Amino acid sequence: MRLHRASLPDDAGASEIRRPYFRGTALGGSAIAAATAVISGFAIFLNSYGLSAWRDSGVGATPYTTAKNLVAAVILGTLALVAGRRRQRVVRPTPSQRLRLIAVGIIGGAIPFVLFFEGLARASSVQAAFIHKTLVIWVALLAVPLLREKLSAIHLAAIGLLVAGEAAITGVDGMAVGAGEIMILAATLLWAVEVVIAKTLLRDLPASTVGAARMGIGATALVAWTLVSGGAHGLTALPASAWAWIALTGIALTAYVGTWYLALSRAQAVDVTAILVLGALVTAALRTGITGAPAPSALGLVLLSAGGIAAVAAMLRPAAR
């Protein structure tokens, strides 16, 4: 149980109080992180079809991202309001927290989405998946000095096994580096920075508030950019099938962001990000079972599974001491 500082309306009798938010156990954090990994695996698979449907309609990747994120923003904003009413109090972020929420929205919910999906339109999905899964490396490099998170030998082993397993599954030998790959790497680095900033906010704000701000501010920025860049001109002519994919991928994004921030509020950023890599198993299984793609490398599956076990062990170890 950790204490959180949040301000209340003046008529509540105090400008600030310390009130507990239940953070849960390490086991609960690992379970939520695992759920996020499963959702991520499904979302990546669905987005490959959603983006393809929009390409066939003659609309670029940025309007697709904007529409999908807007769906998630509306749902998460509604859920945050409902959660606030259930708590029977209004959480008022401090000026410092507001600035960090804006930063999370821009460098987490806006810019990297444009970079990632525009990069995905230029690079292979296999290479994109591998680059994105290196997120755990960048988060570890930032979380240790900035968040004072602790890495054990088990953490290092887990990260090594997970990245090696992803490389074996995706088959990135001789991976070419072009504009698309650079854009995806830039998006991944921005998401790593976002994780660190969000983690500091989650010490004092509920996950629903941070998640809603991330997608709400991000979607607003994306809508503005789409309008300014002229990318919205073809949206009115889109077929119903394209909008169906937007609704589906937007709901998947909602589930991902909601569980992602909830997991981050209960465990180290490194732990949660490491378990997220296991989403590659779900994506690989869907591609093999539904599209008939070749089965992933057995070595990759073994390495990923071993890395996942090590990541969970590292997460649970502090609770056992």
CB count in 10 Å sphere of residue 228: 9
Predicted confidence (pLDDT) per residue in 88-108, tens digit: 666 789 999 999 999 999 999
Return the SS3 of 41: helix
Choose among 255, 248, 287, 291: nearest CA to 64: 248
Return the SS3 of 1: coil
CB 169 within 8 A of CB 304: yes
Alpha helices in the chain, H assignment, sequence order: 26-56, 61-87, 95-109, 111-120, 125-133, 135-147, 153-170, 179-201, 207-228, 240-264, 269-276, 279-291, 298-320
> b or e along 189-221 (b: 16 or more beta carbons within 10 Å of the residue's beta carbon)?
bbbbbbbbbbbebbebbbbbbbbbbbbbbbbbb
Determine the Cα–Cα distance for residues 287 and 128; give it in Å rounded to an integer. Answer: 15
pLDDT of residue 143: 96
Q: What sign does the dihedral 119-125-128-132 (CA atoms) show?
A: positive
Separation in Å, CA 126 to CA 42, 44, 132, 307 = 15, 11, 10, 20
Name the band, by pLDDT with cuts 50, 70 and 90, for residue 306.
very high
Half-sphere exposure of 17 (CA within 13 A, CB side): 12
Name the band, by pLDDT with cuts 50, 70 and 90, for residue 17.
very low
pLDDT of residue 219: 95
Least trusted range by pLDDT, from 7-16, 41-50, 175-184, 305-314:
7-16
Is the pLDDT confidence value at 264 over 60?
yes
Which DSSP state fits 297? P
Predicted confidence (pLDDT) per residue in 123-181, tens digit: 776 777 788 889 999 999 999 999 999 999 999 999 999 999 988 887 766 667 888 88
Average pLDDT, the chain: 84
Predicted TM-score of the model (pTM): 0.85
Predicted confidence (pLDDT) per residue in 275-303, tens digit: 999 988 888 888 888 888 888 889 989 99
Is the pLDDT confidence value at 247 over 70?
yes
Is the pLDDT confidence value at 201 over 60?
yes
CB count in 10 Å sphere of residue 86: 8
Q: Could you give the percent of the chain with pLDDT greater than 70?
A: 85
pLDDT of residue 26: 64
Residues constituting the chain: 321
Stretch 40-47: mean pLDDT: 88
pLDDT of residue 284: 84
